[in-house]
Amino acid sequence: MANAPRPMFDTETLVINMGPQHPSTHGVLRVVLRLDGERVVDCDVVIGYLHRGIEKLSENRDYTQIVLLTDRMDYVAAATNNLGYCETVEKLMGLEVPRRAKYIRTILAELQRIASHNVWLGTHAMDIGAVTVFLYNIRERELILDLFEEYCGARLTYNSMRVGGLPLDIPAGWDRKVREFCRIQEEKLVDYELLLTHNRIWLERTRNVGVISGPDAIAIGLSGPPLRGSGVARDVRKDEPYAAYDELEFDVPVGATGDTYDRYLVRLEEFRQSIRIIRQALDGLPEGPIVGKVPRLIKPPAGETYHAIESPKGELGYFIASDGKSTSPYRFRVRPPSFCNLQALRQLVRGHLVADVVALIGSIDVVLGEVDR
Amino acid sequence: MVEAFAFYSLAAFILGFAVLVITARNTVHSVLFLVANFLFVAALYVVLHAEFLAVIQVLVYAGGIVVLYLFVVMLVNLKRPPEAHADPRRRGRLGLAVAGLLLAQLVAVLGYSATQAVPAAAAAATAPAGGNVEAVGWLLYTDYLVPFEVASMLLLVAMIGAIILAKREL
Amino acid sequence: MPDEPRPTPPAAARPVEKKIEAPSGPPDPPPPADLAPPAFVTAAQAALGGAITQLSYWVGDWTILTTPARLLDLARVLRDDPACRFDFCSDVTASDWPARESRFDVIYCLYSTRRRHRVRVKVRAADGEPVPSVSGVWPAANWLEREVWDMFGVNVVNHPDRRRILMPDDWQGHPQRKDYPLEGPGELLLEDPLEWLRLRNAQSTAEIE
Amino acid sequence: MIPITPAHYMVLSAALFMIGVIGVLVRRNIIVIFMSIELMLNAVNINLVAFAREWHQVVGQVFAVFIIVVAAAEAAVGLGIILAFYRNKETVNIDEMNVMKW
Amino acid sequence: MASGRLTKAAHGAAREGAARGDGAPPATEPGSGAEPRLNMIDIVIIPLLKIVIVFVAVLFGVAYLVLLERKVQAWVQVRLGPMRVGPHGVLQPIADALKLFVKEDITPARADKWVYTLAPMISLVPALIVFAVIPFGGTAHLFGKTVPLFVADVNVGLLYIVSVASIGVYGLILAGYASNSKYPLLSSLRASAQLISYEVAVTMTLVSLILMAGTLSMVGIVEAQRQAGLWYVFAQPLAFFIFLAGGLAETNRAPFDLPEAEQELVGGFHTEYSGMRFAFFFLAEYANMIVVSSVATTLFFGGWLAPFPNVHALAFLGLVPGWIWFLLKVFCFLYLFLWIRATLPRYRYDQLMRLGWKVLIPLAIANVIVTGAVKVLL
């Protein structure tokens, strides 16, 4: 007592800083956890460590240059970012894209979705302790990177699309390799499932962890696989078709309970659906030009628009305002799916254990490059 | 000769660590010295041919009870020195004096008994000698079965009591 | 694209300078006469016609303009009215038009997961003018509004947790404003808010010619 | 060198016991006091085992086992009480534990 | 200090075995008290030599176990593993050791320096001294002498192992406490709770084993298996599985590696450690793996005994020296450990505790009761 009045400190809770340097926060995410024992009472998500001001930068680059800035946002799904951006500008300018370009874009986007899901499954499994799954997934992702390398020469930041079409046609024999990859990936999916889907420990670690109901998920702004895991069949590819998705057949998998396991199952099914889409697109790949009629100087008329596509993480939206006078956008805004999904983390982790926090960050599938931009 | 050497060195360690236990400022260090003390007591039991007891000492005392102490010390994680406040009615000096007196008395008794002739000790050896496990077990499960069961009841009660005490809400 | 050569000198660029009028906001064209507004627009108009100051249609997107004062009413109608059901707040963002009196456009991109339609709601706000937070209507707007506050300094009021989100807590200024300098320490804002525009337009004309 | 007799063990045991007593009397940290009690119990055990050996009886060891059991029970309940007390008063100073109810 | 205890324990046992001639209760220690007169070579040099050999062998084994783990993991994960140092990376352990030796030994500010230094040692020493009672083989004939292939045959060998293992907890708790850091603290709380919980189950399974063998001596247990002509894994399959799970948990191995889960607690109790002190923890963990494998081999797989002693066609197996059989069996266990780590995800803390207290301990108790009943009835 020592005469001075004691400050009443809370003996029950412990504040712990998870990140920004932590092995399983997938980059520089910082989660400040308030723990009671090992149970999370509350958490605060701190982001911005990777903020590079891509939006501001883009407002000072011209429309062609921005494509390669979008690569740097969700760097495990660069082609998807390219696609969303190019389509938004095309929408703003009223450009028509040739069908062949649309099909190739679809193939690239779906390959990218598989690659992104590979990274997700690998890291998610590794966070829960199954390291082998990580390396298996990286092995398959490597094949996709090879395909992209053959297509555009780059392995991570592809810069693979242009406003109005594509910079390159697919190389000869590439479609055969894509088909071969689809076969391999389909085989390996069985491996992943053998290691995880019916594994008792995996079930115990993911079932009923981070349950979020459909309406709650919509309210908090979840999109993509986490939203579908909660049983809401929302997929931009189906609801507001873009690229060639209106001509292709695929299913939108949904979960039942909205827990981590459902999100896992949804993404696993998306692997299969992506392969299905790629096969259809390869079968129906039309001949023709790969670039539409694009003016030499990209200078959209004054106006603004918002356009969203389904990235592997969720709804990736671009809002572009043009003042009609300049070759760079007046306002360039990205609606990053990871950012909006990450917002739900606080709601998800409450009442769970530290180990679940890791699993939940994994099940949301955030890429910090996209969260912070 | 060997036994004398073992005894004196072990006794020195035991007493030394015991003094450190009660003088250490840091409670965690106190606990550590207590562990060391117990380990040397266990060694002394080995010298006394009570291997079973030595192992039990390590297993239960050092490996169990003291871990509990360490747990509690870490859990209470004191932000201020626990000894800051002294009850004015406390008579520390008096306590020391009483302890000293008691020690003197014990030493006197011992000194006196040492001068007396030792009764024929070995003559009484009727029970099986040695400290082996079977002997202890045999006694525990025959002559001392009732105390044994009582002790297990005591442990059960203590366990339930500790859980109730330490639990935040029931 | 690490380092683009900066168009250095206003001195060199100035002579070329024609008269530059800063853009005073997007045109927000009204819908063509022959296009019937969709059900959700008419429903919102019927519920609170006064709140909708303007209606706009451009490249297939409907935009409803309103005032900060009526924003929350409109938000609730858009969320709850059976014809609207905009339960999903895709995005909240802003754009800065410094030449205008109410320099900020705060833009809410809404989507209905049940009716599968989109609409944008737009509010014009002056610097410091309070804009009510819609995070009570759509919890998803929480972080997005934080970003709007962080990047533009739009005065979002009644927000449950109005902190900076991307920039450090002690950052001065709001980087996405048009008058925020591109180089040098961000705190030293340029004297003239339109200086940036002049530089930019000079650059683009120089590069094109 | 003199052979080691039970008296040696008794002196050791007495000294250990006294250290325990002093710890109980002098220290105010209740955890240390508990540990001093453990020291005293150990002193008793040394005595019991020494005599068990002297008399070639295992009974002494049996009693030592019982004492260890009692010590375990005492530690469990005592530390439980300390924890409960600490939650309420945030102290382990025995001089502040002077009320039966708070 | 602890190794001092070890030699004393060994000597005490030896002396007692020699001194006690009466043996009112049935004598349990085989192979003791054969020669009444012991010369200097027998009582000092040979034990000392054995201690040194075991010590060096264990350290060597640990070093190569690390390499084995990396290699096995790599092969499972379609990688190559270490390949640079020496052919196929066989010299990697030396490189690792060198690296750890020369690394800066960091003590965090405001850490409890003494305890911080002591903790790795407390971790390592019990892991090493357990090897004193593990019988690596029966006897060997060396320079005309019959040398038993174990450091000591203590009559309370099994209890000795359990009690020494229980000391190992201190290393983890103290490391967590002394680092003055939150992740290690959380981890050390996890570790100690886990160790204490699983110790109960493991000790219970040992009780049923003791009931079968009627002795606590490790050598005695192997002898009992030889006499019964039955490895106890076949008599006590349930006990074996409980022991295996508990062993994995006690050595902090996957899927029970919560205390050091990199993905959650960034390495756990050794987060703040570096250099040699980190190496000590590392050594302790792998030495503990070898301990658990050796104990499992001794208790359940007949120690150094050759398999199929009763099949005449396979009698040639008996020609292989016992210690080779022992090492082979231990290797199989270690491989199993590595294999499990490469395959399974990690348990969560509460699930781990639930498994321990609600599944393994009741099963172990039931096993003891059934074993006892069978023993009484037969």
Is the bond preceding residue C15 a cis peptide, omega within 30 degrees?
A: no
**Whether pLDDT at E305 is above 70:** yes
pLDDT tens digits, E309-354: 677 676 677 677 777 888 888 888 889 888 888 888 888 888 888 8
**Whether pLDDT at A7 is above 50:** no
Interface list for A 273-292 with D (CB within 8 A): none
- Asked whether residue B94 is domain-assigned, the answer is no
- Asked whether residue B85 is domain-assigned, the answer is no
Letter for the amino acid at A71?
Answer: D
Helix (H) or strand (E) holding E265: helix E262-265
pLDDT tens digits, A253-309: 888 888 889 889 999 999 999 999 999 888 888 888 888 888 888 888 888 889 999
d(CA A46, CA A27): 12
pLDDT tens digits, A12-38: 577 888 878 777 777 788 888 888 777
Q: Which of these, E357, E325, E364, E334, lies nearest to E242 by C-alpha position?
A: E364
State which residue of chain B sits closest to E189, comparing Cα positions. Answer: B71
Residues of chain C by 3-state class (helix, strand, coil), percent to 5: 30, 20, 50
Angle, CA of A52, A55 and A61, to the nearest 5°: 100
**Contact yes or no for E158/E221 (Cβ under 8 A):** yes
Whether B112 and B49 share a structural domain: no
Residue C209 CB partners (closer than 8 Å, separation 6+): none
- Asked whether residue B89 is domain-assigned, the answer is no
Considering only residues A203 and E228, tell me which one the structure prediction assigns the higher pLDDT: A203
What range does the domain containing A86 cover?
A: 55-372
- Asked whether residue B92 is domain-assigned, the answer is no
Whether B66 and B125 share a structural domain: no
Q: How far apart are the first and last CA of chain D?
A: 60
Taking one residue from B and the other from E, the number of pairs with CB-CB distance under 8 angstroms is 106
Number of domains in chain B: 2
Considering only residues C13 and A17, tell me which one the structure prediction assigns the higher pLDDT: A17
pLDDT at C185: 53
Tokens standing for residue B6:
């073992």
Domain with residue A281: its CATH number is 1.10.645.10
Chain C positions touching A333 (Cβ under 8 A) are 91, 93, 95
pLDDT at C194: 61
Averaged over B15-24, what is the pLDDT? Answer: 87
Whether B58 and B122 share a structural domain: no
Q: Which of these, C129, C168, C162, lies nearest to C144 by C-alpha position?
A: C162
CA distances to E61, E93, E282 from E83, rounded to whole Å, are: 19, 12, 21
Please give the domain boundaries of chain D with CATH numbers for all domains: 6-94 (1.10.287.3510)
Residue among A124, A132, A199 with most chain E CBs within 10 A, to mutate: A132
pLDDT at A114: 92
**Contact yes or no for C97/C24 (Cβ under 8 A):** yes
A279 alpha carbon, distance to own chain's centre: 22
Are C and B neighbours with ≥3 CB pairs closer than 8 A?
A: no
Contact E25 B138 (CB under 8 A): yes
Are E and A neighbours with ≥3 CB pairs closer than 8 A?
A: yes
- Asked whether residue B83 is domain-assigned, the answer is no
Number of domains in chain A: 1
Q: What is the secondary structure of E226-247 as a DSSP string?
A: HHHTS-HHHH-HHHHHHHHHHH
State which residue of chain E sits closest to A357, comparing Cα positions. Answer: E264
Of A317, A342, A373, the CB nearest to C91: A317
Residue among E5, E32, E197 with most chain B CBs within 10 A, to mutate: E5
Of C59, C109, C143, the CB nearest to A343: C143
d(CA E329, CA E335): 10
Q: Which of these, E82, E144, E97, E299, lies nearest to E207 by C-alpha position?
A: E299
What range does the domain containing B142 cover?
A: 104-170
Q: If you average pLDDT over every residue of chain A, what do you get?
A: 85
Letter for the amino acid at A236?
Answer: V
pLDDT tens digits, E13-67: 443 433 333 333 443 344 444 444 556 666 677 778 888 888 888 888 888 888 8
Considering only residues A96 and B76, tell me which one the structure prediction assigns the higher pLDDT: A96
- Model pTM score: 0.79
pLDDT at C170: 76
**Whether pLDDT at B61 is above 60:** yes
pLDDT tens digits, E103-130: 888 888 777 788 888 888 888 888 888 8
Give me the phi and psi of D34, to 5 degrees please: -60, -40
**Contact yes or no for A231/A258 (Cβ under 8 A):** yes
Smallest Cα distance from D86 to chain A, Å: 10
Averaged over A306-317, what is the pLDDT? Answer: 89
Token pair 């992209």 is at which residue? Answer: A148
Asked: is C39-167 a CATH 3.40.50.460 domain? The reply is no
Q: If you average pLDDT over every residue of chain E, what do you get?
A: 78
- Asked whether residue B65 is domain-assigned, the answer is yes
d(CA C117, CA A242): 15
Smallest Cα distance from B83 to chain A, Å: 10
Final residue before a domain boundary, out of B30, B62, B78: B78
Chain A positions touching D87 (Cβ under 8 A) are 11
pLDDT at C13: 41
Confidence class of residue B91 from pLDDT cuts 50, 70 and 90? low
d(CA E204, CA E210): 10
